[in-house]
Amino acid sequence: MKTNTLLKGLSFFAVAGLLSLTSCDKETPEPQADGVQESQAILVAEATTSSDAVFIVNAVPDSCEKDSVTAVELPAAISTYLDANYSGYTYLKTFKIQKSGSLRGYIVVIKYNDKPIGLKFDAEGNFVKIFEQRERGQLMGRGWKRGGRFDGRDGQHRDTISLSALSATIKTYFLVNYTQDTILAAHAGRNGDIVVISANNGLYATLFSASNLFVKRSQLILHAGRKTAISQANLAANIATYLTTTYPGYVFHRAYAVKVNSTIQAYVVFIDSNDTKYALHFDASGNLVKSVVVR
């Protein structure tokens, strides 16, 4: 009886119809990728006894060269961007990219949540994209292998957690602290942590540790309206183009359209990019408003 009361209090099944709209996404065809040359890749994680070395790929364009620089040599805009989006990050590697002596941009590799993230910035320090990562053995393959750290690229969404399977600890935490939230979805990280997506006027992502302890809560969008789950195929064309261009090799998880009187006001899209989860807020026209690192 206690479990049933918790489920009712959280309105778990009020959104069952919405969630069913995304079930077809689990049948996403396995992505195909071209091989890349190691000369265009940069090592970002050494090999261990349990995993292969990891590289960011397509980092150095043909006829360009990279030179190491220190963090203090980077434009101030880069550190401002990193502080705003990856609070608590650590620099790993920084490079400037030149062609025929002309500065073309910067490559910055950071460590965030114990994972490497490679970012590209233009010559003025404006963010351009997140580099795709691959294990050494997959540089010339499709970019991932079953059981590897990027095996989520097969589109099968094995990290999805059914709402009824959430622990009593997490359910109780919401009942006590976020009584007005309606839980929409949940998924787990490779280390066992859990992200819970919920609605309460806006959309929120609440992160719990593998032991079900609260870690942080991120506001993704503050906008009244009905949150309707939509499939990847129903995203606006410019949103799909932005994701492919800015997060190559990304994995789509789910998306919501925020509607008022059947008129779309905004979109929120959840993706995984190299084992880092992002939530992206787009306006009604499909223009990016902000991105949030969820985990």
Amino acid at 53: A
With H, G, I as helix, E, B as strand and everything else as coil, classify residue 80: helix
Q: Which helix (H) or strand (E) element contains residue 54?
A: strand 54-56
Are residues 286 and 236 in contact, defined by beta-carbon separation less than 8 angstroms?
Answer: yes
pLDDT band at 94 (very low <50, low <70, confident <90, very high): very high
Residue range(s) in the chain whose domain bears CATH number 3.40.1420: 38-153
pLDDT band at 282 (very low <50, low <70, confident <90, very high): very high
Q: Is the pLDDT of residue 225 over 60?
A: yes
Tell me the average pLDDT across 134-145: 79
Q: Is the pLDDT of residue 252 over 80?
A: yes
Are residues 248 and 132 in contact, defined by beta-carbon separation less than 8 angstroms?
Answer: yes
| pLDDT digit string, tens, across residues 167-183 | 999 999 999 999 999 99
Q: How open is the CA angle 168-173-293, to the nearest 5 degrees? A: 110
Tell me the average pLDDT across 89-107: 94
The dotted CATH code for 38-153 is 3.40.1420
Which CA distances in Å does 188 have to 90, 142, 149?
24, 24, 14
Predicted pLDDT at 18: 43
Predicted pLDDT at 47: 84
Phi/psi-derived region of residue 157, left when phi > 0, alpha when psi is between -120 and 50, beta in every other case: left
Tell me the average pLDDT across 239-258: 93
pTM of the predicted model, to two decimals?
0.80
- Between the two ends of the chain, the Cα-to-Cα distance in Å is 33
